[in-house]
Chains A and B, each alone.
Chain A
């Protein structure tokens, strides 16, 4: 039984909008999504080798949200992630080698092996923080936007959260404060309908998350999370609003994770969701639908995609090799940075 169906319309009607965009930009969105997919699949393929001693939460199926959102951000804009960090980190410009080193517990990981997959951070690209506590970064991101406002800084803060995070009290507290102070922040909610294996309807009453968020007193929109351009445009509007002092925005994007909550492979067969549900969403795959769209516009073909995939694969393999050759921390590394000077 399909509980949560795809209700979007894909790229129908988007043909007319193509003129607004540079082809290079459109292709970059595709490449960025494909890159995340290929890297994630390679992580998944190697996961059982146990060199990556880290819990992982793959974003396969959820690439358009990270890529579309980050395309509307500059490097100076800050991004906060939940436990599902990979897509956010890569889309924000994070270093693939630093990410894989982190997942391989190496000293040159982006946080020196103190984080692993769930705690990717990198100040140099504006990946400001992530937390394995559901909703943990939501108030922190709100405080970041508050700091920006107080210091008259022009950067915008975006925080990714899942559907279940909206059930945490601290998210309500954060939305209230952001609306009260009209903070330059975007709450980006990826609604994939599940919290681990718990479906949305056992956790929330029948209502739409974005409407609930609107009740805190901020513009709130529903955007197809499989459509990278729709995500990009919604984010652009939200970023412009934030930069102009117009306050916070909430974006809900229905998406589907094609894999288990954590780890490698899909776990639908355990019965908490119907495989037919995943298959229905796979028809709305953010990468395939966008590829078909670009192809119909004559911007890409199978051959070009193959070349692209080859380049990404080479980059990925090199990064894995690099990680596996990288040094491990020493005992002395354990003791540093407990306190700041």
Chain B
């Protein structure tokens, strides 16, 4: 069984209604975004380890090399830091690279170029140099991925000025956010989640953008605000739907972009509900959960009726074994229980 294929395939998502539009798989939606960008702008190029191999990055880069040639879609040497620098240098000089990584864990090798160079060049050159590049990776989970193949590193990057961080949760967003990321003039990280990769959704044909830095309500409610992004938000949404039967009316905000962070939408919702649950695929400590929790304490204290709850990962490395994993990751049941406690407090 290749990695978490089995688990991913067994996930059930609500099937989209084809009457609402064209139904497309998640990976295909990203693939379309890349194809549109490559077609629109000759300065766009796509590279990374194995982007031209038969599995084509979960299918995200499928057929792109055939369509656009080896110069614009190409395999990369195993040189994460070096190639992050190559990407940065190319972006500083007229190109729009899209650097694909199988997993965020591998980006850790490239922090010097990403954090200390790409993120800061625009500022350091007093606004003259721009670094329009996209760094893409899919967060892993399950099937033995373990401590070194499951890390969701957005929390480590959240505090880095100059970066943008995108975390889509639907095929529609994955395509529209990718197009926005490529058109943005800053280094933008796009973190997908493997468990969303087999999801289907309504995806419009052709070009459209989902704006960076703006969240969206996935569910309206009055009792509690669940905020987050990516697969964690998906679980939060499932929990909210389940709790509706018990009379708990949750509001669910998909941040779409965690940096820049849409503070307004959280403040707006919190004013109404007074209760905040932050969900994230990364560690609770020092990450997305911690930051939003702190903002609530600092800026929206008057709206709060109860303490903020964080539902991220415990301060523990990711275990590889199946049973340990069940204890490690928050699931719908545990998220629901936390929300219940909060609302009935």
Contact = CB atoms under 8 A, between A and B. Distances in A.
Given A139-B81, A147-B94, A338-B161, A121 B89 contact: no
A249 interface: no
Nearest to A78: B93
A131 interface: yes
B108 to A, nearest CB: 14
Contacts of B91: 143
Contact of A133 (B90, B116, B127, B129): B116
B185 A150 contact: no
A173 B81 contact: yes
Interface residues of B, number: 41
A257 interface: no
Interface in A307-341: 336-341
A89 interface: no
A84 interface: no
A215 to B, nearest CB: 15
B185 to A, nearest CB: 4
For chain A, the bracket of interface size reads 35 or more
Interface in B88-137: 88-95, 112-113, 116-117, 121-132
Nearest to A339: B186
A176 B83 CA distance: 11
Given A115-B124, A136-B117, A340 B89 contact: no
Secondary structure of the A side of the interface?
A: helix
Interface in A138-159: 138-148, 150-151
Given A121-B124, A123-B128, A177 B45 contact: no
B221 interface: no
Contacts of B85: 136-140, 142-143, 170, 173-174
B79 interface: yes
A129 B82 contact: no
B126 to A, nearest CB: 4
B82 A139 contact: yes
Contacts of A111: 124-126
Interface string B123-167: 111111111100000000000000000000000000001101000
B127 to A, nearest CB: 4
Contact of A140 (B45, B92, B132, B164): B92
Contacts of B121: 129
Interface string A153-179: 000000000000000011011101100
B81 A169 contact: yes
B15 to A, nearest CB: 39
Given A142-B89, A341-B185, A123 B125 contact: yes
A147 B132 CA distance: 13
B71 interface: yes
A93 interface: no
Contacts of B281: none
Interface string B60-100: 00000000000100000101011111111111111100000
Contacts of B122: 337-340
A129 B120 CA distance: 12
B82 A338 contact: no
B210 to A, nearest CB: 18
A247 to B, nearest CB: 15
B92 A129 contact: yes
A112 B124 CA distance: 9
Nearest to B95: A147
B133 to A, nearest CB: 10
Nearest to B87: A143
B77 A170 contact: no
A194 B161 CA distance: 34
A147 B88 CA distance: 10
A180 interface: yes
B330 to A, nearest CB: 32
Given A133-B116, A136-B117, A143 B88 contact: yes
Given A140-B92, A150-B45, A340 B83 contact: no
A297 B35 CA distance: 64
Contact of B89 (A112, A139, A176): A139
B124 A143 contact: no
A114 B87 contact: no
Contacts of B84: 139
Contacts of A141: 89
A92 interface: no
Interface string A110-134: 0110110001010100001101010
Contact of A142 (B82, B125, B129, B131): B82
Contacts of B132: 340
The 6 closest A-B pairs by CB, nearest first: A139-B85, A143-B89, A173-B82, A173-B79, A337-B127, A143-B86
28 contacts: A111-B126, A114-B124, A121-B124, A123-B128, A128-B93, A131-B116, A131-B117, A139-B82, A139-B83, A139-B113, A140-B85, A140-B86, A143-B88, A146-B86, A147-B90, A147-B94, A147-B95, A150-B71, A173-B82, A174-B86, A176-B77, A176-B79, A337-B122, A337-B123, A338-B161, A339-B122, A339-B185, A341-B185
Given A150-B45, A177-B77, A339-B164, 5 more contacts: A123-B125, A142-B89, A143-B85, A170-B112, A339-B122
Interface of B: 43, 45, 71, 77, 79, 81-95, 112-113, 116-117, 121-132, 161-162, 164, 185-186
